[in-house]
Amino acid sequence: MDINQLLVAMTPEIYQRMLTAVETGKWLDGSVLTPQLRDSAQQAVMLYQSRHNMHADHMTVAAGGEIKFKSKAEFKQDFTIDGFEIKKDTVMDDNEIARFDHDQL
């Protein structure tokens, strides 16, 4: 199959299934990928990312085929909400989900 035909036929859903298979080594039905099939699926995933990945995560193939490495600051920015950094509450016990004062309810 021609690369362009492959990319035209690959929908976002197919891409996501192939990505999951490459990451886990198994298809969604639990069957294991052979090393050859895993390599082919990985190449297809990277080709798809090189054409469609406009918002590359840390260490992925960005649109245009470039490998994208986010800086520490860029990566930390992904874990903020409205400019506030998300931090683990060090006061909480491991068995607690959340702690509220009465006036916060």
One DSSP character per residue, the chain reads --HHHHHHH--HHHHHHHHHHHHHSB-TTSPBPPHHHHHHHHHHHHHHHHHH-SS--TTEEPTTSPEE---HHHHHHTTEETTEEP---TTS-TT-S----GGG-
Instruction: Judge whether 101 lies within some domain.
Output: no
What is the reported pLDDT for 27?
Answer: 93
Instruction: Judge whether 62 lies within some domain.
Output: yes
Instruction: Judge whether 89 lies within some domain.
Output: no
Instruction: Judge whether 65 lies within some domain.
Output: yes
Instruction: Judge whether 91 lies within some domain.
Output: no
Asked if residue 100 has pLDDT above 70, the reply is: no
Instruction: Judge whether 40 lies within some domain.
Output: yes
Q: Does residue 13 or residue 61 have the better pLDDT?
A: 13
Domain count, the chain: 1
List pLDDT tens digits, range 28-84: 999 999 999 999 999 999 888 888 776 656 566 777 777 777 776 776 776 666 555
Q: Does residue 85 or residue 4 have the better pLDDT?
A: 4
Instruction: Find the domain containing 31 and state its range.
Output: 3-69
Instruction: Judge whether 76 lies within some domain.
Output: no
Instruction: Judge whether 84 lies within some domain.
Output: no
Q: Does residue 3 or residue 103 have the better pLDDT?
A: 3
